[in-house]
Every structure is written in C-alpha cells, then in structure tokens.
Chains A and B, each alone.
Chain A
Amino acid sequence: MLYVWNCDKLIFKPKINSMKKILLFSFMLLSALVTESWAQERTISGTVTSAEDGSTMPGVNVVLKGTTNGTITDIDGNYKLSIPTEGGILSFSFVGLTTEEVEIGTQSVIDLAMSADVKQLSEVVVTAMGISRDKQALGYAVSSVSSENIEQKSESDLGRVLKGKASGVQIQQQSGMSGSGTSIIIRGMNTFSGSNQPLFIVDGVPFSGATNEQGDFVDGNNGSSRFLDLDPNNIEDVSVLKGLAAATLYGTQGRNGVILITTKTGSSNGAVKKTEITVSSSLFANEIASMPNYQNEYGGGFDQSFGWFFSNWGPAFEEGGSAGWGNQPAITVGANGNPVLEHPFSTASSATGIPAAFPEYAGREYDWKPYDGVKDFFRTGIIKNNSINIRGASSDGMVSYNVSYGNLKDEGFTPGNTLDRNTVTIGGSAKLTNKFRINATMNYAKTDFKTPPVAASYGSNVDGENASIFGNLFYTPRSIDLMGIPYQNPITGESVYYRQNNSIQHPLWTVHNAGNIQDTHRAFGGVTLLYEISENLNVNFRYGHDVYSENNVNFSNKGGKTGSVANRSGVYQTWNNTNTIDDLNLAVNGNYDLGQDFDISFTAGATSRRDVFDQNGVKSTGQQVFNVLRHSNFAAQDEIQTFRERNILAAYGQAEVGFKDFTYMTLAARKDWVSNLSEENRSIAYPSASISFLPFKAISALKDNNVVDFMKLRVGYGTSANFPTGYPVASTLVLNTQTFQDAAGKDVVTNTSGNVLGNSDLKPEKIGELEFGLEARMLDNRLSLDFSMYNRTTTDLIVDRPLDPSTGFTITKTNVGEIKSNGIEVDLAYDWITNNDGLNFTTSLNWFKNQAIVVDLGLDTDIVVYAGFSTLGNAAIKDEPLGTMIGTTIDRDADGNYLVNAAGSYQIKEGNNIIGNATPDFIMNLNNSLSYKNINLNILFSWTQGGDIYTQTVQTLLGRGVINDEGVDRANSFILPGVNPDGTKNTTQINNSTYYFSNVLYGPDEMGVYDATVFRLQEVSLGYTLPQKILDKTPFGVVSLTFTGNNLWFYTPYMPKNSNFDPNVAGLGIGNGAGFEYLNGPSSRRYGLSLKASF
C-alpha cells in the first residue's frame, strides 16, 4: 500500500518505488502549473460584448485569420492573443452570431460588439457539470426554458411552471393544494423501486428536489417537493438533460435526467456595469377548478327515503311524486311554510353528547332544501408575489454581484391551506488575479406550508389513522347545511355534525382543529474556484452545500371522529427532517486546437457527494386540555427517529472532438462508488458516446438549397445505474418498548425479527439508452424541428420483492428482470409571421410518447405490485406496460359474460386483474405566441391522450348520488347486462342507488376506472410593455404588465360530465404510483396580474 487513508490524516508510507511515483505526479502537476505563454512579438487584447444587450460574451473564437493562432474569450468576454508584429486580420466567430473580421493594423486593443446571425440561429446550452456548449455539437437532446417562460407566473412551484414547456417531461401535481407535492418524470419511468425523479443542479451544485411526505397515502401524505424552495422569478434558465448520454457525468444521480437550473444570482451572464434593479409584483386569484356540478332534485337518505346518511339517495325536494318528500313522515311543513325536518342536533343519539350540548336545537326546524355547502366551503385564495433583484458590477468589471429577495404569500382555495415563502439570494463572481476566479452563491429560503390533513378516503370517511379534509366533503348530501350546522361541541370541543351517531367528522372542524405544517429553512449554494493554468487549460474546484431543516407538525385536537383511537384522543406530532448534501468536485478543463480541422475539449474530474437525512421528533397522543398543542399536554409520547446517510465517490471524464464545423463526437465516462452496498457490488462505470453530424455543412452539394437552412443528425448512447437508498444489505431486529402492558400496567418490551431480508448480493440497476435525433430548420428558419427517438433498457431491476411471509421475511431488495422503454419526442415550431417591428406569430408544439414494457421479471415471479395497495395498485407484470393497474373486476363466465348475483349486482372477481394502464398514449403541448409591438400573448394548450385513472372522487359522487350521471333518470331502474351464476340471463331489476352505490362505489374496482384524456388551457399570458419613449423620461428601464392564468379550462371527454373531475392529481403521492385517486383534492385555477419594472 502506498499510503493509508484514514479520516483524519493522510499518512504516506513511502517505499522507494512509490516515492518515485509521487515525485512524478508532483512534477506533472507543477509543470502544468508553470506552463504559460510562449514567446511572441506582441499582444492584442479586448472585450467582446453582445450588440443586443451589451452583456459580455464568453467563448467567442478569436483567430488570426489564415493561421491556427487563436484563443477564445473568457467568462467576462476578454481575450488576449499573441500575434506577429504587423498587420493581420482578427476573425471573431461564435455560433449563431455573424462572424466579424477586424483589420488589426497597429491596434493593441480591439473591443467588439457581435450581433446575431439571423441565418445561423444557434444557441449555447448548458450541459452536464455546467459546461456550456454549442448546441449543434451535442449528440443528444437538451431542452431549454428561459426566464420569460418561468417568471411572473401564477404557479409558485417551479415544477408546475415547467409543465408543458419541454417535451419528454411529465409533470403531475399531487393535488391543487398550494404547496402540495409535484412529480417530475423525464422520459418515463426507468424503475419501479427507485426514485424516478430527476436530479436538480442549481448553479452547478446538487440540490434536493425530494418530497418528504408526512406519512403514506393512506394516513396522509402532505409534504412539499423541495424545489418549491426556488423562486421561479429568480431563475435565469432551465436546461433539461433528458437522455443518459447527456447526463453521464452525473453518474447514478443523473439516471432520471437532470434539471439544470441557472439562477439569476448564479448566472455570470448579463452582468452590467451599472446597477440594475428589477422589481416584480404580482397578485393572483386561486380558485377550485374542479367543482362538481351537483344536482338539486334529491336530498340525503337511501332508497328515496329520508335519513341522515352519508348518501344522497333520499327523497326529492319536490313534494309530489313517488319520490317526493310528501311521502316522508319525517318531513313536514314547517312554521315558515317550507318543508322541514327536526334538526339533526335535536334527534342525535344522546351518546354523542350533542342534544345535551345544544339544547337550543331541541325541536328546532331544519329546512329540507338543497344547500350549496361544498361550494361555499371553498374560498378564493389570494396569491401575492413580490420580488426584487439587484445586480451590478464594479467599474472595472472585475467583481459582479446579484442580490435578490422574493416573497410569496399563496393562499389555497381550501381554508387552512397556505404557502408562504421568503427567499434571499446573494451571488457574485470576482477575478482575483489574472489566474484565479471565484464564483459564489448563497441562497436562503424559508418555506412555510400549512394544510388541513389530506389522506386517502373511500367515499365513507378515511381508512387510515388520521382525518382528511376532503374525505367527508365532496359527497355531502345536498340537504346538509354544511356551512350552517355548528361544527364544534361548545362543552368538549369535539366535532359535531348531522349524522345521528356523529360518525362523520365535520369538515369545518377539521379545518379548525387539525392540520399539517411543514416549515422549512433552507440554505444552499456553492463556491467555485477556478484557476487558469493556461489559456487552454483550467482547474476548478467546487464545493456545494444544500441543507434544509423541515419542521413538521401533524396535529389534531381531541374529539375528532375519524381515524384511529389515537387520532380521536388528540395527536400532536412534531419532527424535524434535516437533509444535507455536501458536494465536492475537482475538475480539469481543457480546450485545444489540433491542427486545422480538429479541436478537442475535455473535462476530467473527481467528485464526492454525501447525503444525510436525519429525522427526529416526538409523537404525542391523548390530549388533556382541548386545543393546547404542547407535548406536555398529552398523556403519552412516542419517538420519531430515522437516520440515513449515503456517500458517492466518483471519477469522470469527457472529451469532445470536433472535426471542422460539421462533425462532433463526445465520449464520456464516469465511475461511481456508493456506500450502502457490499464491497463487491459497490461500484459501476458508465461509458457514453454521442455524435453530431451536420450534413448540410459537410456536403457541399447540399449547402446551397433554399429549403433547409440547417440540419443536424445525432446519435448517442449512454448508460447509468440506479443504486438503492437506505440499508438494503443489512439484517435487522426490531425492538418495541410499548407492545403490550402486563397486569400491573407496565409496558412490555418486545423483539421481533426484521421483516426485510438483507441482500448482500444486491447490485445496482443498470440502464442503457440509445438515442437518435434530427434537428432541422427550414424555410428561412421559419420552421424548426427537433426530433428524438430513444430506446432504453433497464436490467438487473432492483425490486422491492414482496416475499411470501413463510420465508420468514416479507420483503427483500433483489435484482431481476428487464424493462424496455421507447419513446419519441418532437418539438416543432413555425413562425407564421415574423415582422421584427410589428406583428410576430409563432406556433410551437411539443409531443411526447413513452412506453415501458416489462420484458422479464426473473424466474420465479410474474407480478410485482410496486405502488398502492397490494390488491389495488400499480403492478409490473411480464409483457405488460409499466403503469399497469390491477384490482378486482366484474366476474365473467367462460364466454366472457358478466356474472350478476341474485341481488342483481355484479359479482366481483378477486385477485390481481388488470383494470387499466396509467401511462398516457401521448402528451402534446401547443403554444401560440403572438406579439404586436408592445403587446404579447401566449396561449399554452395541453392535451394528454389516454392513460387510465381509478378515481374515488367520481365513484363517490356517483355512488353517493350527489351528482347525476348524464342522461340517467333516477326514477328508472337498471337491469345489469349479464348472466346469473346458473347461466340464465339476468333479469333482476335494481334501482339507481343499488347500481351506483353497490356497483360503482362499492363494486368491482374496474367500475371506478376512467380514461383520463384531458384537454387543458394550461397557461395564458397577455403582456404589455410600456413603450421606451414613455420611459425615457423616467428612471425606469423596462416596465411591463402581464396577465397570466393557469389551468383556466379543462375538458375530460371520458369522465362523467357532472363530476368535473380533473385527473391531474396523484393519489399515491410523489412516487412511482400513478393512476389512482382517493379523494385527494381538487385542482386549482389561478389568474391575475403581474407588474415588472427595472430601473
């Protein structure tokens, strides 16, 4: 061994041989450092700026014409070049800009402003590890979204703002609640056990986009996705690295694609020498977008008889007719001449304590009429968003800085739901000497999310431990005065409501007495130190740190009526999640011309990343004094504690070779070592290669055509791997100090064997992807096309394999099988009208399709249920698409006829039957952008075709009889098509409530599955920029006013019309489950005005 590493010191144990190696290494390092200029006759220098906005231009090629002598401008647009004594022409070139040639003469300083080449539209994009590259050189797909498409939007969640703006990216909200989680999946799922969420890199350093849900979907899984801590108004641009060839340098972390975010703070572009202050201020309204169209003919009850039921199958609000209230002894004509009932508080069971607590309601009349409680329950939330950004640079341009502050107050449409966010960012860069440069950003965010509890509900309370605000809301019978019936017992504080045994928790009680809070303090940022060894070679060291501290509270006062006994006794849970990412990265970057036709740029580096998740808290139960939320006010305490750490060490390298200006090849590789697997399975190497070829530049015969202005063909192959999280190889033992009590009431301590079978042979999941692409611009650059096709294979899938408990374990992580997925992404844009000083009209479209098929699940299993319930969830089944949904179906006979039982209802077939597939057939977004002088209008329309959803909301609305199925008369009866078990044709008549209640709501799961096709007006913005003339006399540089709206309209052709259900909801939370919804919450519609001014 050469040297011994231990954590505190590096101990060299030199042997003669090793000593030599070290000396050699040191010499190489030194020689690299001293390699400097070559003797030349004179030096010319200058700064290149953009003619458009005066910003400095890095990366511009500066060549002495006719020679290979040249350089590129540095990050501040400066260049310096040694040239022979006299004459010569300097050529400045940059892709997308008009090449400029300048006679040198005797000048020693040549500054230049370069302008865009309209014929040569091209762009520089940020790629892995922050390397800026000319897009034409890329052999893989990258989507970019710039600040104007992100800022001043009514959605405050960056993830949701990006929805529809890049092809291949699927964005799904958990619900329309402000601050609820958001799922981002790029190019479909690769795995069903690991995370499919992308890596976030903000200003070069890793950033956690995790969603720490407060529980599981059954007990309530509120929690924000942590990219919510970014203020969209402070984002300069977003690059989405979709494929593996693009993300190789990030290793395992980049397997799901990478979202590279450059904040305004971290951006080195556009530093202006004067100070510029930009202020934006927005005010939006936030409304429920998916309010059902309730019927107002019938009220609460069952079988057209009145009762204080959950269901709305009671008598009509009309007096006459067979279903009229006139037939009900309980409903009479009251003192006010209207039909009345005895108030539910007057008739409630005395055991509920209601009659005693509300003596004033004894004998009181209660109007039998439809109430619009659900509508009145919601509010219009107000969203205020203010931000200020200040940037500038020292007069010599050596130091630049950017400071921003953002404040968001986002009020949900649900009472009790708010999101407050304050962000402060400071960033800057400085040239320390000619050789050193330092860049640093520091961000602080405080995000406070508060919501009433939301948990899976089934049209009859919740099934989990806690309450859910929506669990008892949407099916409120029409005759229930939701907003008028008191919700709190004045003596005990407990929930009171209309049901005679008080078994429904009043939604208003839930709003006022239960909630989930997630208050997050977050600091993140990085420091990059760059040392220029020579013009062609630099070394940079980067340290990134991201820490957040989530303070979670889950509380419910005592007196709730749903969930566990513990919940009803009052619960108070407080815990903190501290998540830390430490990222170190050291890289050498070089850039050389190799003769006339070849140039090479390369990066090689080493990196380490440490992730620590530390959760600590207390859960208390048994509240003593009502409404006092301190642990000391609770009878019993229990611990909440989890700790996870994982380190990744890696070495990586990338080389790009360009041949002339039409062929580029990129080779990259990375090797990761990950700390939570056994040593032999701990590391893996990821090679990748990609080629970009520009035929219209390469083949002279093609150059002069009038149709195609630019074409690029690309092909890339990349690999990655998915490492498990947690401690999958460990064998464990569970200790419980409170399993039971002995006769004396003393807690009994127990051991039980761990249910997870540790697997020391567990290997990382391997992913390979082949990608083809075509990019083209045609018809005078009016039409542009970016087409990608990929084929992805995941092997050695890490499966949370459920085990038969008779093995002694219930689950193990193991490697099995294979998933193959393929997809197509198309970005198409056409400029209908381009009139630089007048009217411009562009339509752009992106289209995406992905399908993943489970090819193999290993030898001894044919189904793995990976999300949801084990009998109603998402399953991987051999030869079926990933995203397949399983559940119970209508039982069928050998001929496929439905089986109907003697009661006239469908017979249920148990087992894991396929009931749908959650994966959409395709997703399309269409954006029309129209501008005329100072006015611009953007309309983003999205279309998700297909994909199924099992929706409890729709089942419940129909099954409880609060909405009418279109074209169905409640007075008519049904005879379900099918046969009786004895083979005869079913002739049993059932009424409406039996059909909807017993078959739709509580029948086979299949009955709750709908095609989730949705057309949506995703985003509209109409902006007006004040003319420059007016501003000339004011201190303002730019003033613009924008109206934006989000989710203004949607249409679901296959959903029951009156449900008005929005399938943009993730009932299983932010994970791999899809296509299930358990009354998780409606979607939101937001609109309002935003003002932006800079001075």
Chain B
Amino acid sequence: MKKIIYLIKLTLFSGVLLLGSCESMELDLTENPNLLAPSQASPDFFLSSIQVDFAKEVVEPFGLTGGQVTRIDYMNGRNYLNAYSPNSFDREWRYAYQRMMSDIHLMNTLAVESELWYHVAMGQVMEAYTLLTLVDFYGNVPYSEAFLGSENLNPSVDDGASVYAAAIALLDDAILNFGKTAVDPQYDFYYDGDWTKWIKAANTIKMKAYMATRLVDASAITKFDAIVASGDYISTTADDFQFRWGTNEIQPDTRHPRYADSYTSTGAERYMSNSLMDYMTGKDPGAYSTPVNFDPRTLFYFYRQSSATPGVDGEPADEETLECGLYTAPNHYAGFTYCGVARGWWGRDHGNDNGIPPDGFLRALAGVYPAGGALDDATYDSKVNGDGNGGNGITPIMLASWVNFMIAETQMIVGNDAAAKTAMFEGISKSMDKVTNSATTTDRFDWLFGTATNDAYPDTVALHYGPAVGYTINQFDSIFQVDLSADWDAATTTGKWDILAMQYFVASYGNGIDAYNFYRRTGYPTTLQPNIEPNPGGFIRSFYYPANFANNNSSVTQKTGVDVQVFWDNNASSPGFPIAN
C-alpha cells in the first residue's frame, strides 16, 4: 500500500517540481488546527467555565422553570402536557452534562494530579447541586454510565435515589477537600476563596437534599437536624451562596439573564406573574396609605412602567395593550386575580398563551432584585437596556433565609406551629434585609420610604399611585410582619402551611428550584392562581426528558406524560395533587 502511494507521489513528482510545492502529497492531516488539543487544558480555565455554566446554564434556567410552574414566575402554556416541550430543555441538558459536568471531570484529572483540592471541591459542590436538580426535574437520570464517550453512547439512567446518594457523597468529599491546603484557583465567583463558607454551602445543600427526601427517608430529618445542630451551614446573608452578574452588554454579555430579557431597546420580552404580584401587593390594593399585607419587597422585585393596569380595578380597558381587561374572569378564576394586578403590576395569568401586544414599555419588569434592574420609585418610566442597575444582579442558589423556611417546615410536620412561625419570620426578616439592601442606600432614601423627599413626590401623586409616603422601610416591614403574624395566628393548620409556602415562594424569587420541590413535597400552597385553561391536565410532577436525551439515547424512552413522580415524591398522583394544580 505504502509503495503505491510512493509511486503516485513519484509519478506526480515532475508536476511538483514545476510548482515548487509538495504539500499536496501530505496524507496525515487529522489534527484540527482550529481548536486546542485536550492536552493543552488548564484547570483554572476549566474552573472558570464551570462556575459560569453552573449559574447561567443550570441554576438560572431550572430556577426560572421551577418558578414558572409554582407561579412565582409567569408560565406560558395552557396545557401542562404542552407547556414545556422536550426540546425546550435541550440546552440545560447539554450544558449540565456535556459542558459543566464533563468539564469538572476533565478538570479533576488535572487538578488531582496537581493537588488543586479547592478546584476539585468547588467542582464537587456544583456537580452535586446539578445532580440533585436533574433528579428533581426529570426523575431518573444517567450518572454511573455517563461521561464515557465512545465506551457508552447510550448511558442508562440511574435511580434518582442513587443519584441523590452520589450527590451527597460528592458534598461530603468536597467538605474534606475544602479542609485541605492547596493553591487557590484563579477565580472563585461565589465566595472569593473563603473555604469555610464553601463548607457551609456544601452542608446546606445537603440539608436541602435531606429535606427533599423526607417523605421517603425516615432518617432524613435526623440528618437535617444534625447539620442544624452543628451550626456549620448558611445562617446569615453574608454566607449566601449566590452568583453575581455584571453589566457588560456584549462580548461577553455578563448581565443577569432576567435583566437582559426585560430591559431592551424595544421593551420587555418577559412577563411577571400576576399570581405572585397579587399576593405580594396585599389584601387591599386600594388603600396603600394604610397597606394590609403589602410586602415592601414588591417594589424591589417588580418595576412598574405604568401607574395603572387597563381594565383592572376601574381603569378603562385597552384592547390594544391588555385585551383581557375587556372580559370578565372565567368561572374557575373566581376568587383569584385575573388579567393584571391594579396600579401597574401588569403581568400575565398562569398559562396565558395569547399573542404579544405592544406592551413592552407598559407591563411590569423584573426589578432590582435579583435581576439588577430598576427600583420601583413610582416614576413609571419606560426602561431600556442600561437602566436600573444594568443587570448587576444575583442568582440565588442557597440563601440563609431559605434555611429558616426549611427549618419551619421541619417544625410544621411535627406540629410545632410556634417554632415554625419563629423560623419563618426569621427567614422573612433575612430575605427582607437582603432584598432591601439590593438597592443602594441613596436610592432607598431618595425613594418614598424614609425620611424626606416628599417634595419630589407630592402627596397627591404618591397617594394616588403608590404606597404611602413617610414610612421608613423598617416601618413598612413591621406593618407587614404584624399583619402576617396576625394572619398566621388566625389560620388553621392548612392556612399556616399556605402562609409558610407563600412566604417561602416570595423569598425564593429568583430561583424556583426549591419552591417546585416544596410544592410537590407538601402540596402547599393550595391558593395559587389556577391555569387560565380550565382543563390544563395534571400538574407537572416531573418534566419530559429533554429531546436531545430521549431521542439520542436508545437506553431511555420518553415519558408518556408529565405525571411521573420523582423518587422522593410519594404523594397522591396528578391530577388532584397538589390541590392548586
């Protein structure tokens, strides 16, 4: 064979002589000059990519989806079966497995060799959280047979419980690794090299995992309590496990994804959830001078571009921008907010799949927390990219306030209402503190809370359009907490669960992963706004497998529906559970 090739080359030699080149004859051109070779990898470069992917491609999208189904965020889809098509998760699946976790494994080979234990440990924490989330959303997923390349092109799924166990083992290992001495990585976007906080984060993620499995694992609560007892978990907002976004628009776009979708030159592309805005604005939206249950975080979560919502609460309807304002609520919406929340909290009802009217500069936007948008100062300006905080927000992954809600849940299940209430209010206070600190001090005091600036906001305007002037944020907070405390005390056990759930959801704004778990675990709250479609099918107990997984892997078949329960969910089947559907 070789001789023949030589002969051809020889035969063509005359031509080559004429042309003075013989690169035409080279037959071994298999290396790709456009990309690096795997041998040129750097553990630091890997770790940076892993950290960004974790926040941007795993926590954010799953957090949004979890929020959408629990009505923290707006969901577009009248039918639970079709609200999320399999391919809508292709990107998350690809980033979780092919990018993030593959990169972790490749990095580990290099990092272990160089004893870069912090690199390894950070990877383990992020991998563990990702695995837990994949199980929470899809049920059984590949792990033990994954990442093998050509050795196994069709990895089988592992039982969700064993993936959970693997994740917990990773966290345990990470805690050990954080305790070692090693060279710091180039970047730690989460704790800037504070390894004790990383250990707290790892422990807290374990708590979340135990909490998730409490229905199927009798020892889960004991393990949870043991960590509480150790105190080595995220207990103050300074310990919060979160990712901070930047303000650069392009190359690279470092802005919070929710900001990028809301602050554009042509207006918002994303709707806020009527259900959550209705809850947070309290019981009596007409009387802001003496608000009842008005949650001050509302003004941080949502930015209003309009002072009024057409067709709602006596405002004239505008078929061009908010058509549903012309209609009365469907029967199954009796007792729920419909179409929009008064005074400019203009969002969409759960499941609404109508076309998009030209309301991009009118509807409510994501606010300053956590998206890094604008603080609602009742000026009702239309916002474009660059406005507000420019996208410099956070993606919460595990917050101190959430731990209190988990603790409250452990107390509720043993019937200790009082302890639950204490824990819940502790969580609310931490959340309130975190959220209200997301805008700069000046902003907060220039605004209508606080000491002065009544000149800028004459009473007439403020009274008509927004919350009362003259209260400080602390006053607002205390009015809110006093109202809520009274509600709690007056509520039945179910009512208490509903309050706990709703408050947990409010605090979860920005990452609905744990809210989605809570909802399937407890069935609360029972009071969520239903789907605009009267017959939307049973609630999504786990999502379809992503199309790029189900279609390309012969070891797995797509689920027949979205009613498959994950391993830790032994509640009644859909429909019927959760009650609010």
On A, residues with C-beta under 8 Å from B are 2-3, 5, 7-8, 10, 301-303, 305-311, 330, 349-352, 460, 494, 499-503, 541, 543, 561, 564-566, 568-569, 582, 584, 586, 606-610, 621-622, 636, 638, 641-643, 645-647, 649-651, 671, 673-679, 682-683, 726-727, 729-736, 738-743, 745, 747-755, 757, 759, 801-810, 812, 859-863, 865, 869-871, 888, 901-903, 907-908, 910-912, 980-982, 997, 1002
A784 to B260, CA, bound (A): 67
CB interface residues, B 442-491, toward A, < 8 Å: none
Most buried by B among A729, A751, A805: A805
Given known pairs A802-B551, A807-B152, the reply for A647 and B94 (CB within 8 Å) is no
Q: Is the CB of A861 within 8 A of B35?
A: no
A565 contacts across to B, CB distance below 8 A: 249-250, 253, 260, 264, 385
- Nearest Cβ on chain B to A442's Cβ, whole angstroms: 16
Q: Is the CB of B252 within 8 A of A741?
A: yes
Q: Is the CB of B5 within 8 A of A673?
A: yes
Which one, B30, B141, B266, contacts A501 given CB within 8 A?
B266
Q: Is the CB of B11 within 8 A of A586?
A: yes
Q: Is the CB of A733 within 8 A of B360?
A: no
Given known pairs A503-B360, A565-B264, A870-B87, the reply for A740 and B153 (CB within 8 Å) is no
A673 contacts across to B, CB distance below 8 A: 5, 27
Q: Is B119 an interface residue (CB 8 A)?
A: no
Given contacts A608-B8, A807-B153, could you give 5 more A-B pairs where the C-beta distance is less than 8 Å?
Answer: A5-B10, A7-B25, A726-B32, A731-B37, A745-B246
A543 contacts across to B, CB distance below 8 A: 15, 18-19
Q: Interface readout for B263-275 with A: 1 if CB under 8 Å, 0 if not?
A: 0111100000000
Which one, B18, B82, B189, contacts A910 given CB within 8 A?
B82
Most buried by A among B102, B146, B147, B383: B102
Which one, A651, A806, A862, contacts B8 given CB within 8 A?
A651
Which one, B4, B82, B94, B265, contacts A671 given CB within 8 A?
B4
Q: Is the CB of A683 within 8 A of B103?
A: no
Given known pairs A10-B10, A638-B251, the reply for A733 and B552 (CB within 8 Å) is no
A608 contacts across to B, CB distance below 8 A: 8, 12, 24-25
- Nearest Cβ on chain B to A617's Cβ, whole angstroms: 14
A335 to B146, CA, bound (A): 73
Which one, A309, A566, A606, A755, contacts B251 given CB within 8 A?
A566
B544 contacts across to A, CB distance below 8 A: 910
A48 to B72, CA, bound (A): 91
Q: Interface readout for B66-90 with A: 1 if CB under 8 Å, 0 if not?
A: 0000000000001101100111001
- Nearest Cβ on chain A to B267's Cβ, whole angstroms: 4
Q: Is the CB of B5 within 8 A of A351?
A: no
B254 contacts across to A, CB distance below 8 A: 740-741
Q: Is B289 an interface residue (CB 8 A)?
A: no
**Stretch of B46-54, B291-299, B430-438, B511-519 lying at the A interface:** B46-54
Given known pairs A751-B46, A807-B153, the reply for A981 and B37 (CB within 8 Å) is no
A675 to B249, CA, bound (A): 43
Given known pairs A586-B15, A741-B246, the reply for A649 and B251 (CB within 8 Å) is no
CB closest residue in chain A, given B141: A806
Q: Is the CB of B266 within 8 A of A561?
A: yes
CB interface residues, B 1-15, toward A, < 8 Å: 1, 3-15
Q: Is B521 an interface residue (CB 8 A)?
A: no
A674 contacts across to B, CB distance below 8 A: 27
Q: Interface readout for B208-234 with A: 1 if CB under 8 Å, 0 if not?
A: 000000000000000000000000000
**Stretch of B197-205, B340-348, B405-413, B529-537 lying at the A interface:** B529-537
Given known pairs A647-B26, A749-B45, the reply for A754 and B35 (CB within 8 Å) is yes
The 6 closest A-B pairs by CB, nearest first: A351-B382, A750-B49, A503-B266, A307-B320, A727-B32, A804-B553
- Nearest Cβ on chain B to A782's Cβ, whole angstroms: 50
Interchain residue pairs with CB less than 8 A apart (5) = A301-B320, A566-B251, A646-B29, A754-B38, A870-B548
Q: Is B184 an interface residue (CB 8 A)?
A: no
Q: Is B357 an interface residue (CB 8 A)?
A: yes
Which one, A610, A742, A862, A910, contacts B85 given CB within 8 A?
A910
CB closest residue in chain A, given B537: A981
A738 to B14, CA, bound (A): 49
Q: Is B314 an interface residue (CB 8 A)?
A: no
A676 to B23, CA, bound (A): 14
Most buried by A among B24, B45, B320: B24
The number of residues on chain B lying at the interface, defined by a beta carbon within 8 Å of a beta carbon of chain A, is: 120
Q: Interface readout for B332-362 with A: 1 if CB under 8 Å, 0 if not?
A: 0000000000000000000000011111111
A460 to B266, CA, bound (A): 14
Given known pairs A584-B16, A586-B14, A903-B78, the reply for A803 and B552 (CB within 8 Å) is yes
- Nearest Cβ on chain B to A916's Cβ, whole angstroms: 19
A888 to B267, CA, bound (A): 31
Q: Interface readout for B537-576 with A: 1 if CB under 8 Å, 0 if not?
A: 1000000100111011110101000000000000000000
- Nearest Cβ on chain A to B508's Cβ, whole angstroms: 25
On B, residues with C-beta under 8 Å from A are 1, 3-16, 18-19, 21-38, 40-42, 45-46, 48-49, 52-53, 78-79, 81-82, 85-87, 90, 93-94, 96-99, 102-103, 105-106, 141-142, 146-150, 152-155, 187, 189, 244, 246, 248-254, 260, 264-267, 319-321, 323, 355-362, 381-385, 533-535, 537, 544, 547-549, 551-554, 556, 558
CB closest residue in chain A, given B546: A805
A745 to B35, CA, bound (A): 26
Q: Is the CB of B149 within 8 A of A808?
A: yes
- Nearest Cβ on chain A to B549's Cβ, whole angstroms: 5
Given known pairs A350-B382, A565-B250, A622-B250, the reply for A912 and B551 (CB within 8 Å) is yes
CB closest residue in chain B, given A564: B250
Q: Is the CB of B533 within 8 A of A803?
A: no
Q: Is the CB of A499 within 8 A of B358?
A: yes
B355 contacts across to A, CB distance below 8 A: 302, 309-311, 997, 1002
Q: Is the CB of B45 within 8 A of A806?
A: no
Q: Is the CB of B37 within 8 A of A733?
A: yes
B537 contacts across to A, CB distance below 8 A: 981
B13 contacts across to A, CB distance below 8 A: 10
A610 to B12, CA, bound (A): 13
Q: Is the CB of A907 within 8 A of B548?
A: no
B359 contacts across to A, CB distance below 8 A: 501
A871 contacts across to B, CB distance below 8 A: 85-87, 547
Most buried by B among A502, A503, A753: A753
- Nearest Cβ on chain A to B127's Cβ, whole angstroms: 13
Given known pairs A729-B30, A740-B252, the reply for A870 and B90 (CB within 8 Å) is yes
Which one, B6, B42, B260, contacts A751 given CB within 8 A?
B42
Q: Is the CB of B52 within 8 A of A501?
A: no
Most buried by A among B27, B38, B248: B27
- Nearest Cβ on chain A to B75's Cβ, whole angstroms: 16
CB closest residue in chain B, given A736: B49
CB closest residue in chain A, given B246: A741
B382 contacts across to A, CB distance below 8 A: 349-351
Q: Is the CB of B48 within 8 A of A749?
A: yes
A645 to B533, CA, bound (A): 57
A802 contacts across to B, CB distance below 8 A: 548, 551-552
Q: Is the CB of B46 within 8 A of A750?
A: yes
Given known pairs A302-B355, A307-B358, the reply for A733 and B40 (CB within 8 Å) is yes
- Nearest Cβ on chain A to B185's Cβ, whole angstroms: 12
B558 contacts across to A, CB distance below 8 A: 911
B153 contacts across to A, CB distance below 8 A: 801, 803-804, 807, 812, 860
- Nearest Cβ on chain B to A708's Cβ, whole angstroms: 46
- Nearest Cβ on chain A to B465's Cβ, whole angstroms: 17
Given known pairs A739-B252, A808-B98, the reply for A753 and B549 (CB within 8 Å) is no
CB closest residue in chain A, given B40: A733
Most buried by A among B90, B106, B249: B249
Q: Is the CB of A733 within 8 A of B36?
A: yes
A638 contacts across to B, CB distance below 8 A: 251
Q: Is the CB of A733 within 8 A of B323?
A: no
